[in-house]
Amino acid sequence: MPTVLAIETSCDETAVAIVRDRTILSNIVASQIDLHRRYGGVVPELASRQHLETVNGCLAEALAQANLDWAAIDGIAATCAPGLVGALLVGATAAKTLALLHQKPFLGIHHLEGHIHATYLSHPELQPPFLCLLVSGGHTSLIQVKGCGDYATLGSTRDDAAGEAFDKVARLLGLGYPGGPAIDHQAKDGNPSAFQLPLGRVSRPEGGYHPYDSSFSGLKTAMLRLVQKLEATGEALPIADLAASFQATVARSLTQKTLACALDYGLQKIAIGGGVAANSALRSQLQAAAAEHNLTLYVPPLQLCTDNAAMIACAGTEHLQRGDRSVTTLGVQSRLSLESVGTLYTHIIGNVEDTSAGNAVSLPN
């Protein structure tokens, strides 16, 4: 397996990591949470500027921590989609420049493919096919992983992503940013059955429900009405009970959909990823449900669930080994489906460059 250095700057973490053979050699994450906290969310322009100031220091630290120089690096990867365009541009431009400078192959990586690969770092024995539940600030997806670069999105969200719902409800409860960890923390002292809340189902026009799709707008509205009703009594809000009930409802909804999807598609293995995969209620409910149905649940440690560059580097090693290369004229994109991962690469077949995947102009070396 080759050694790949990767840069991740799709949102509010500046991250650089080096990975070889599903093993992390270094993993540097500079979080911008303190910068954005006072605005209650990520400010894209501030994120880009901060990435620009931090990325060189992270690169030096990643090489030093791995005790490697550029000669030991076989490929340079960067998240190129989806994400905040200005933020993505910083990491992608840095990676392309380094690839040209050091005459290394460049690989543009899909951020969600990175989250899928995080599980390989904690469980190197895991092989496709499996189902991956990706729940982050921007995504709530159920993905059938058939192989490297080969994915089918079986479920998604109709409105807010799970992390967004956590962040908005945390704001409603006055818990600050980021909301997920704050709700998780408060929920530890609360009663998850204190309030009955709607699970959030997506109706089909012909009747019934989409079994794997999520919707959190109804749950958010129910929380708003509940808080307004409780505030009208003039008593202090039962924050811990509200947080625990909300968290348990999100966890129940995601667990039901994930299990139904795995069983319907005959997938024996389930991996989870994204920031919300750090949620304690979701982890324990999924664990119990998987055990009940004899399915194996793969749960990466918290620092690999949230954004990091090790997961991007891991995806980079697999693409590099398959012969995939990205052109250094590859652009960044705010949206890109997982099914379109192939458009990030040219495929090297023998000595002939196959440009049918699109985006191909010429290789850096």
What residues make contact with ligand KG4 under the rule CB under 6 A? 11, 136-138, 163, 166-167, 178-181, 184, 274-276, 278-279, 306-307
**Closest distance between ligand KG4 and the C-beta of residue 115, in Å?**
7
Alpha-carbon span 144 to 150, nearest angstrom = 9
Q: Are 147 and 134 within 8 A, CB to CB?
A: no
In a 3-state reduction of DSSP, which class is residue 69? coil
| Token representation of residue 235 | 């008593």
Residue closer to Zn ion (CB basis): 136 or 214: 136
Which C-beta is closer to ligand KG4: that of 321 or that of 337? 337
Min dist. Cβ of residue 51 to Zn ion (A): 15
Min dist CB 278 to ligand KG4, Å, is 4
Indicate the residue type of 114: G
Instruction: Provide the minimum distance between the beta carbon of 251 and ligand KG4 in the complex, in angstroms, as a whole number.
Output: 9
326 binds, among ligand KG4, Zn ion, none (CB under 5 to 8 A by kind): none
**What is the rounded CA–CA span in Å between residue 158 and residue 161?**
8
Q: How far is the CB of 13 from Zn ion (least distance, A)?
A: 9
> What is the torsional sign of CA 127, 128, 129, 130?
positive
84 interface partner picked from Zn ion, ligand KG4, none, CB below 5 to 8 A per type: none
Q: Could you give the CA distance from residue 329 to residue 293 in angstroms, rounded to a whole number? A: 47
Judged by beta carbon distances under 5 to 8 A according to partner kind, the member of Zn ion, ligand KG4, none in contact with residue 300 is none
When the beta carbons of 29 and 260 are compared against ligand KG4, the nearer one is 29
Q: What, of Zn ion, ligand KG4, none, does residue 298 touch, CB below 5 to 8 Å by kind?
A: none
Residue with tokens 């290394």: 104
The listed partner (ligand KG4, Zn ion, none) that binds 180, CB under 5 to 8 Å by sort, is ligand KG4
Q: Which residues contact 314 (CB under 8 A, 6 or more apart)?
A: 4, 19, 22, 114, 117, 118, 120, 121
Task: Find tokens 């092989």 and name the residue.
Answer: 127
Q: Could you list the residues that contact Zn ion (CB under 5 A)?
A: 136, 307
Q: What is the smallest separation between the CB atom of 36 and ligand KG4, expressed in angstroms?
A: 11
Nearer of residues 15 and 360 to Zn ion, judged by Cβ: 15
Residue 149 interacts with which of Zn ion, ligand KG4, none, CB < 5 to 8 Å by class: none
Residue type, 34: D
Nearer to ligand KG4 among residue 304 and residue 360 (C-beta): 304
Within 8 A by CB and 6+ apart from 258, the residues are 131, 133, 142, 270, 286, 289
Residues contacting residue 356 through CB under 8 Å, at least 6 positions apart: 347
Q: Is the dihedral of CA 48, 360, 346, 76 positive or negative?
A: negative
**Cβ closest to ligand KG4, residue 215 vs residue 306:** 306
